[in-house]
Amino acid sequence: MNELCFAVVGTASNKAELLYIWEKATPEAKVIIILLLLFSILAWSVMTSKAIQMRRAKRLNQFFTSEFKNQPHVLNMFDRRIQAEGCPLFMVYQAGSQELDARLKGAAGEARRKNVSLKAMEHVKRTLENTVAQESLKLESGLILLAIAVSGAPFLGLLGTVWGVMSTFSGVAQAGSATMAAMAPGVAAALVTTVAGLLVAIPSMFGYNWLVHNLRVRTVELDNFAQELVSKIETEYLEEE
């Protein structure tokens, strides 16, 4: 291995190492490296945008929870026409409040009744469940791209390495010369695709795990809030049989 490193450094003494390896790489390896570069740009874009989205959702959820707990009645915030776009908990509250308001007013749109029936309450619950699922999907969108980068980039890099080593040994066999100087550039150029694959996969793995953890936390928050909202609606508006 040391002889291989010395041979590569000696041949590329007047050139930058990566530039020299790029020049010696096969066309297939160059295509794979370009693909991995595009994967890396896409992965970092997804990680950055999702991290901003998760942090914003966390901050807005905290503000909304504080405001919601201070209101005396379930529909106070809805009646005040408060808007909090980008807040998952608010979207659940807004959907539930709209459905509850419609059930209290009836089809004719008259003044609100004091209570809703058990059947109407089931409609409110289903609306809340659907909204929770929709908000969870919004937070989850894009994570599949990171999963693909984590699992696919190393194999893509390995493909480039195996292909490059195969081409190198094939060229050596045809030339009939098995010297280190003949083999080292091709092997080094082949190995760089594996390095490129790992450079894509490793940051993507850490980013994916962090985002999945935050997604689970936000999803639990949505479920807990939906249950709390249902409990308050039932306490305040469900008619007693």
pLDDT in tens, 161-187: 888 888 777 777 776 666 666 677 677
pLDDT at 160: 85
How many CA atoms lie less than 13 Å away from 175 in the CB half-sphere? 12
1 belongs to a structural domain: no
Q: What is the mean pLDDT for each group of 10 consecutive residues in the chain (241 residues)?
A: 41 59 77 90 94 93 90 87 87 92 76 82 93 93 90 90 79 67 72 89 94 94 94 83 56
Q: What is the phi/psi pair of residue 116, to 5°?
A: -120, 155
103 belongs to a structural domain: yes
11 belongs to a structural domain: no
Domain with 219 in it: 16-237
Counting residues of the chain whose pLDDT is more than 70, the rounded percentage is: 86
Angle between helices 88-105 and 118-140 (to 10 degrees): 160
Instruction: Specify the number of domains making up the chain.
Output: 1
8 belongs to a structural domain: no
For 9, the enclosing helix (H) or strand (E) is helix 2-11
Measured CA angle at 182 (ends 179, 184), to 5 deg? 100
pLDDT at 12: 45
134 belongs to a structural domain: yes
55 belongs to a structural domain: yes
Q: Match 């010297």 to its residue by tokens.
A: 179
57 belongs to a structural domain: yes
7 belongs to a structural domain: no
pLDDT at 5: 42
Tens digits of residue pLDDT in 44-88: 999 999 999 999 999 999 999 998 888 888 888 888 888 888 899
Distance CA 127, CA 146 (A): 31
pLDDT at 1: 40
pLDDT at 179: 64
